[in-house]
Structures are given as structure tokens and as C-alpha cells.
Amino acid sequence: MSAILEVSGVSKRFGGIRAVDGATFSLQCPGIFGLIGPNGAGKTTMFDIICGRHVPDSGEVRFHAERINGVAPYRLAREGLARTFQECRVLPDETCMDNVLFAAQDKRLGREMLQAVSRGTAARRNTGAEARRLLRLINLERYADQPAGALSYGQRRLLEIVSCLMSKPRILLLDEPASGINPTLLNTLRDFLIEIYRETKIVFLIVEHNMEFIMSLASEIVVMHQGRVLAQGAPEQIQSDKSVIDAYLGQS
């Protein structure tokens, strides 16, 4: 059985800097995976490559055995790859409800023009119930008709994640979801992610700096260092791995 996500020998340089230098790892089954590494490890670039934002100089990324490196982000989204952004992006002028509904909208241009003419609202009605359920899940149902721009940062973060779910993705990529979140709300965020994992049973790949958060959330951790994959394993293994500790503290 092929891996769900397979990264082989990916390299990417920017100017003179080798951000990713022959990185290889694979995610075999559904689960919550963390992608960590000290500053300059290349994890953010690796994440951006998987999301289609950068084209690798060499190597391949395969999603369910299909090559996805070099495919435009909007195509990847339609293939079931959903992602969040480190700076937390939502559509600020739209209501929370519309934000969630938009994720489920069929965005093929032809279909959209057809809908303009046929004025079919059946699709929106059908997904409306699911959208409400998701908003209820994150306690934002009462904000359904408020603009997303009016929410607090933490609320927007949850809205962003829940919007991803609306498109029934096959893989969820989260870019530093804990960043900017009040420490008291981190437990809520963690519990929420665990719950939606239980519901969807898809692959979560989470880039994180907050070690405590990711170690208590992920079932498996991939550690990058200086552009390569240093280690991969369960959190306890990684936490006691000397090469990982040396990577973070710097070798003396």
C-alpha cells in the first residue's frame, strides 16, 4: 500500500541558501503528524512546497501516489489538500457562515457561471446545515452572521480550520496553528484538533514551533535540521533523541 504523503529527495534553494537539501520522509497512515525543527531547518519551506507555493528544484512529492510537486495551489485544493496559514487567513468582509460555505463552493469557473444563470441555491442550502454544525463545534454559531474580521484572533484561527473541513479534504496541513494563541486557549485548540481528527481520520501535518503543544498532540513527529530530515518517530522517542536535542541546542 502506498504512503499517503511521500516526500523524496526534495531540494530547494533561494539565491545562495539551500533551504531544503534532500529531504525524504513519508506519512504512511492517517494520523496527526508534527513537522518540527530549529530555526532555518527548512520546515516552513518544506510545508510550502507540499502546499504548492514553491516548486522544488529536485525531488518529488506524492500524495496518494500522485505527483503533486509543481501543481498550482488551487488545483491541490480541489484534489483534497486543505491548508491554513501561519498568519491566520479568513475572508474578513464575509460573515462566518459565508466563510465556511465558501470553502464548500464548487469553484470551477464553468460551474460558477452556470450557477449565476440557473440561480440554484440547493447546494448552499444542503451545506448550510453542515456549516452550522461546524460553527457550533467551535462555539461560534452565534457569530454566524457577523463578519469574520470582527472575531478575536483565536476565534479566527478556529474558523480558518473549520472552513478547511468544509471542503471534505483528504489531508489537512496546518501552518503553526498555535502561533499567536493565548496559552490558556491552547488546550482548547488541542482538544479541538484531536476531536476533528477522530471525526475525519485523515492525515494532519502540522508545522509547529511550540514544542509542548505539538508533542502532546501528534502521534508521530518528523524533525528537520539544516534542510534534511533528522529523525522521525513517536514524541517520546524524539524528545530523548540526542541528535534532536543537539540540533536544537547547538552542538558544543
Partner 1 sequence: MRLSYSLIVTVAILAFGALAPVIFKTQPYVLYVLTLALCYAIPVVGVNLLYGYTGLVSLGHMGFAGIGAYTTALLMKSAGMPFLPALLIGAIASGGVGLLVGIPCLRLRSHFFIVVTLAVGMILYTLFNNLDSITGGAEGLPGIPRPQRFSLGSWNMEFRSVSGFYTLTFIVTALVFGLQTLLVRSDFGRSLSSVRQDEALASARGVNVFAHKLTAFALSAAIAGVGGAMKVLFLRAAAPLSFELQESINLIVMLIVGGAGYLIGPLVGAIGFIALPEFLRAAAELRLVFFGFVLLVIARLAPRGICGTVELLFRKLSGKDASVVRHS
Partner 2 sequence: MLTVRGLKGGYGGKLIVDGVDLDVAAGEIVTVIGQNGAGKSTILKSIFNMAPVRQGEVALDGKDIFSVSPYQMLTVGLAYIPQHHSVFPKLTIAENLRMGGYLLNDAALLQKRVTKVEGMFPILAQRRNEYAASLSGGEQRMLEVARTLIMDPKVIMLDEPSIGLAPKMVDLVFSTARRLAEAGKAILMVEQNVKAALLASDRGYVLELGQVRITDDAKALIADERVSRLYMGIRN
Would you tell me which residues interact with partner 2 (CB under 8 A)?
A: 38-40, 153, 179-180, 182-183, 209-216, 238-240, 244-245, 248-252
Q: Which is nearer to partner 1, 72 or 234 (CB)?
A: 72
Per partner kind, with CB cut-offs from 5 to 8 A, the member of partner 2, partner 1, none near residue 249 is partner 2
Comparing C-alpha atoms, which of 46, 35, 47, 32 is closest to residue 222? 35
Q: Which is nearer to partner 2, 122 or 249 (CB)?
A: 249
Q: Which is nearer to partner 1, 29 or 150 (CB)?
A: 150
Q: Which is nearer to partner 2, 120 or 183 (CB)?
A: 183
Is residue 164 within 8 A of residue 172, CB to CB? The reply is yes
Comparing C-alpha atoms, which of 31, 77, 43, 76 is closest to residue 176? 43
Q: Does residue 112 bind partner 1 (CB under 8 A)?
A: yes
**Residue 147 DSSP code:** B
Residue type, 168: K
Q: Does residue 107 bind partner 1 (CB under 8 A)?
A: yes
Instruction: Provide the minimum distance between the beta carbon of 218 and partner 2 in the complex, in angstroms, as a whole number.
Output: 11
Can you tell me the distance from the alpha carbon of 175 to that of 101, in angstroms, rounded to the nearest whole number?
22
Q: 238: helix, coil or strand?
A: helix
Can you tell me the distance from the alpha carbon of 224 to that of 24, in angstroms, rounded to the nearest whole number?
10
Is residue 172 within 8 A of residue 202, CB to CB? The reply is yes
Instruction: Provide the minimum distance between the beta carbon of 38 and partner 2 in the complex, in angstroms, as a whole number.
Output: 7
Binding site for partner 1 (CB under 8 A): 51, 72-74, 77-78, 82-83, 85, 89-95, 98, 102-103, 105-107, 109, 111-113, 115-117, 119, 146-147, 149-150, 163, 167
